[in-house]
Amino acid sequence: MAKKPKVRNQQRWVATITFWTFVLSLLMSLGSQAIFFSINSIILALIVLLFIIFIGIIFDMIGIAAAAAEEAPFLAKAAKKTPGAREALYIVRNADRFSNFCNDVVGDIAGVVSGTLGALLVISLVTSGFFRDNTVISIVVTGLISALTVGGKALGKTYAIEKSTEIVLGFAYVLLKIEALLPKKIFFGQALPPRRK
């Protein structure tokens, strides 16, 4: 008996998201570490670390907003031809996949990368002579990274639920603008119906 289209689509999604998780993880890890090692300032290294934490918080917020948003506001905005409204509606109708990508893929990768950069920052602080005992500073840095990540996501969740429509619309608009610069549509593709004149 042939597999149902829904099951095949789910399997295809799992395979796709697994592949892209691997690729994005490599790119983010290599890129952030390359930047980290290319700078000599502890302050700049700290900024890179904070930026990665910020990326994780933002995407976690977007994923929650996609899951919390309702279709009705976007249907109304799409009828008024608001830029990004059709794309936002598509995001809401596929909230499980967008949330999975934003929260589980980007969010988790950012968490792993920030942990790695935190360890590198500890090594830099010790080798630079700021601290002698790497155990204590390692515990402190790990605690700070965890606190910033969890605290930031907690604030982001509250804001995402309250402003889900605005966040999803803004995210869709940004993706739409990025897609317009690319030779091939990779975010929405042929998933959207043609615009009504």
Contact 160, 65 (CB under 8 A): yes
What is residue 2's predicted lDDT score, i.e. its pLDDT? 47
What is residue 5's predicted lDDT score, i.e. its pLDDT? 63
**pLDDT tens for residues 96-142?**
888 888 888 888 888 888 888 888 888 777 777 777 767 788 888 88
Interacting residues of 192 by C-beta distance below 8 A, sequence separation 6+: 86, 87, 90
Which of the two residues, 144 and 127, has the higher pLDDT score?
Answer: 144
Any idea what DSSP says for residue 195? Answer: P
Whole-prediction pTM value? Answer: 0.79
Q: Tokens for 169?
A: 């619309």
Give the Cα separation of 31 and 88 in Å (integer).
30
Model confidence at 189, pLDDT cuts 50, 70, 90, reads: low
Interacting residues of 78 by C-beta distance below 8 A, sequence separation 6+: 85, 86, 89
Give the Cα separation of 138 and 122 in Å (integer).
6
Radius of gyration of the chain (CA): 20
What is residue 133's predicted lDDT score, i.e. its pLDDT? 67
Tokens 């289209």 correspond to what residue?
5
Any idea what DSSP says for residue 196? Answer: P
Give the Cα separation of 59 and 196 in Å (integer).
32
Give the Cα separation of 94 and 78 in Å (integer).
17
